[in-house]
Amino acid sequence: MITLGLVRHGVTDWNNQGKAQGISDIPLNQEGRDQAAALAKRLSTEGWDAIISSNLIRAQETAHIISSYSGISLHPTDERLREMNCGLIEGTTEEERVSSWGPQWRKSDLGMESFDQVAERGHEFIQEISLNHRNKRILIVSHGALIGLTLKRLLPNIFTETHISNASLTVIKKTEEQWDCELYNCVEHLSIGRCRS
């Protein structure tokens, strides 16, 4: 058995501006740091064993804040947890994308990583962790698209669509060969929403 807590990083200025971040290395803003601290307070009471994060700074900052507050040990970062590479659209808003490439910009070759590629590396990481950390509770700090697409790959009957909020917690558990989702996109610790279990 293994329990994984999937955490999306706290908010950044680009999140608030509606800009695609992808693999651009954008730090948390003060709101994002405050979100991470609120999440850390919650996680400190839940008995987690370790934290593994994406190597992008917004995820690393979130992981460090959680670790500093809670005492949960940080493991080395893993590049497979990075956000989807958004190619030419990184740093642009939807309005700017429509202006540059038209309303059907998603059909253009803009150097973006495919959903399948993102889901595959997320799935590969999760499978490896589940083998190497049996009977542990591991926090994974990553990004919205990576978490959402990985959930759709692991649990296609549950997740046909996903929405992953900043500083949210999703908890999945594997018993024998079966994955299940215990908690989805919970932001209760931010006092702005509810949990779905």
Find out whether 9 and 166 touch, Cβ atoms under 8 Å.
yes
Does the residue 181 lie in any domain?
yes
Residue 79's domain comprises 2-190
Q: Does residue 175 lie in a domain region?
A: yes
* 139 within some domain: yes
Q: What is the pTM of this model?
A: 0.94
In this prediction, residue 138 carries a pLDDT of 98
Reading the chain (197 residues) residue by residue, the pLDDT tens digits are 999 999 999 999 999 999 999 999 999 999 999 999 999 999 999 999 999 999 999 999 999 999 999 999 999 999 999 999 999 999 999 999 999 999 999 999 999 999 999 999 999 999 999 999 999 999 999 999 999 999 999 999 999 999 999 999 999 999 888 999 999 999 999 986 556 65
Query: Is residue 197 in a domain?
Result: no
Distances (CA, A) of 135 to 17, 81, 141, 142, 172: 41, 22, 19, 22, 13
Does residue 163 have an active-site annotation?
no
Structural domain contains residue 121: yes
CATH of the domain at 20: 3.40.50.1240
**Residue 186 class from Cβ within 10 Å (0-12 exposed, 13-18 middle, 19+ buried)?**
buried
Residue from 9, 61, 143, 189 carrying the catalytic annotation = 9
User: Is residue 26 included in any domain, yes or no?
Assistant: yes
Q: Which residue in the list 61, 83, 90, 143 is annotated as catalytic?
A: 83
143 is catalytic: no
**Number of domains into which the chain is organized:** 1
| Residue 196, pLDDT score | 60
Residue 45 lies in a domain: yes
* Other beta carbons within 10 Å of 23: 18
Task: For the beta carbon of residue 72, count every other beta carbon within 10 angstroms.
Answer: 22
- Is 110 within a domain? yes
pLDDT at 176: 81
